């Protein structure tokens, strides 16, 4: 008998610490869980997918389009003409439905594939903080800070708005409108709500970056900045 196998009479065999059965059984979950965590972190801090549910942004964004929204753009970085996704519950005084634990988990999973919350809206920034936005100028165009602006993203022949308004955007708020002006519930439709339909900067989720579906329309989304607008309102006679 060799020294390696010999042991004193009555001595027990060396014991091995067994690995907990539960850890062995669920080890396969570590990979998918890590991937899910990575996706959630990217979605929360870098880019978020969204699907377009309505015709309010036609013809720039069509129903069924899938877009990625950059969360790296801060409200201070936004320009007139940028397309943004935002939580409209505060700006548009929307009722936020109560959700149970199961529904919350289901919606979290759906959000990974671009389905946003019912209160998530996509619109174009028209007025920045401090801007005076008016409809309409004498020639029928939208007026910002006393200057009539061209809006190439509005369908040919469509009017900038059938509703007249004259508003001054408060600090840290934004006036937003859909490109399909006749079918968009935007800042105009909520002038009578608290906040007058202006979107707080803190509620802006991000700026639309790229369309990834359908593949035939893959690419950047035209932002249409209105660079010729003065930064401050133009003084008027008697004002």
The residues that are catalytic are 56, 123
DSSP percent split of the chain into helix, strand, coil, nearest 5: 20, 25, 55
For residue 157, count CB atoms less than 10 angstroms from its CB and return exposed for 0-12, middle for 13-18, buried for 19 or more. exposed
Taking the CA atoms of residue 170, residue 88, residue 191 and residue 161 in that order, the dihedral angle to the nearest 10 degrees is: 100
**Measured between alpha carbons, how far is 96 from 98 in angstroms, rounded to an integer?**
7
219: tokens are 């690419």
The DSSP result for 146-193, as a single string, is: TEE---TTSPTT--S-SS-EEEEPPTTEEEEE-SSGGG--SGGGGTTS
Token pair 């390696």 is found at: 4
User: In this structure, are strands 83-87 and 204-213 parallel, antiparallel, or unpaired?
Assistant: antiparallel
Those residues with Cβ within 8 angstroms of residue 93's Cβ, 6 or more apart along the chain or in another chain: 190, 193, 194, 195
Q: Are 56 and 79 in contact (CB under 8 A)?
A: no
| Interacting residues of 22 by C-beta distance below 8 A, sequence separation 6+ | none
Q: Which residue in the block uniquely carries the two structure tokens 């165009």?
A: 141
């Amino acid at each position: 008998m060799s020294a390696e196998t010999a042991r004193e009479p009555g001595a027990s065999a060396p014991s091995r610490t067994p690995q907990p059965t539960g850890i062995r059984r669920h080890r396969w979950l570590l990979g998918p869980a890590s991937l899910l965590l990575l996706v959630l972190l990217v979605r929360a801090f870098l880019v978020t997918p969204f699907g377009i549910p309505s015709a309010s942004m036609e013809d720039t964004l069509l129903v069924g389009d899938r877009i990625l929204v950059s969360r790296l753009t801060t409200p201070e970085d936004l320009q007139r003409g940028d397309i943004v996704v935002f939580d409209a519950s505060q700006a548009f005084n929307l009722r936020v439905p109560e959700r149970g634990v199961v529904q919350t988990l289901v919606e979290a999973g759906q959000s990974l594939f671009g389905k946003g919350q019912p209160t998530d809206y996509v619109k174009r920034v028209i007025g920045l903080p401090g801007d005076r936005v008016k409809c309409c100028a004498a020639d029928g165009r939208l007026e910002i800070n006393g200057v009539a602006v061209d809006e190439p993203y509005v369908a040919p022949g469509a009017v900038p708005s059938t509703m007249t308004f004259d508003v001054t955007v408060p600090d840290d708020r934004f006036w937003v409108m859909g490109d399909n002006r006749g079918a968009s519930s935007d800042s105009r439709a909520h002038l009578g709500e608290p906040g007058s339909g202006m979107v707080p900067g803190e509620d802006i989720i991000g700026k639309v970056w790229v369309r990834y579906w359908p593949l035939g329309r893959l690419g950047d989304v035209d932002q249409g900045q209105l660079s010729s607008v003065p930064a401050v309102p133009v003084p008027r006679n008697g004002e």
